[in-house]
Copies of this chain bind each other. A is one copy, B any other.
């Protein structure tokens, strides 16, 4: 298969994985189902992605790190940008479905646990950088524990989206941003 054809197949199969995860969750993933959804032949899927678990992990990896927005140097704007970006991701039904599937798979499957661990340590290190930068600029008390600040940033929206299953509004992003800066100063 040429590189261009491979890339087209890959894009179609990855999109099909996301569609199946949203509609049916991890248990819906099968070569037959992906072939029907993507229009790519079963033999091509078998040849390139023989293992459904590894395929799901590849798609997770790509989706978790897609569209990362660059952060500016103003620490308050960077924190707001981080929260707004996180809310936007969680509001995306595909991202939310993938996240739940990842949490579900990670407790039982080593390959998922590895992707899960990598995804969350990257999220944490990115948020950690923003927090440390804000500490250097005097916006956050330098004695504050960075990992605790990161948890304060991400836990509320995650709870709201996964447990109460409502969308996160722009106003909630502004409110959390204001509340955290007050608490951390």
Interface residues of A in 117-163 (CB under 8 A from B): 120, 151-152, 154-156, 158-160, 162-163
Knowing A26-B25, A155-B155, A155-B159, say if A97 contacts B101 (CB, 8 Å). no
B103 touches A163 (CB 8 A): yes
Per-position binary interface string of chain A over residues 87-125, scored 1 when its CB falls under 8 Å from any chain B CB and 0 otherwise: 000000000110011011011100000001000100000
Q: Copies per complex?
A: 2
Interface residues of A in 7-25 (CB under 8 A from B): 23-25
Knowing A120-B164, A183-B183, say if A24 contacts B108 (CB, 8 Å). yes
CB < 8 Å neighbour of A96 from B107, B154, B155, B164: B107
A159 touches B158 (CB 8 A): yes
A101 touches B103 (CB 8 A): no
Knowing A100-B100, A104-B100, say if A156 contacts B151 (CB, 8 Å). yes
With both beta carbons as reference points, the residue of chain B lying nearest to A120 in the complex is identified as: B163
B25 touches A104 (CB 8 A): yes
Q: In whole angstroms, what is the CA distance A164 to B127 when docked?
A: 15
In the complex, which residues of chain B have a beta carbon less than 8 angstroms from the beta carbon of A24?
108
Verify if A165 is at the interface (C-beta below 8 Å from B): yes
- What are 28 A-B interface contacts by the 8 Å CB criterion? A23-B108, A25-B26, A26-B27, A27-B27, A96-B107, A97-B107, A100-B100, A101-B104, A103-B103, A103-B162, A103-B163, A104-B104, A107-B165, A120-B163, A120-B164, A151-B159, A151-B160, A152-B156, A154-B159, A155-B156, A155-B158, A155-B159, A158-B158, A158-B159, A158-B162, A159-B159, A162-B162, A183-B183
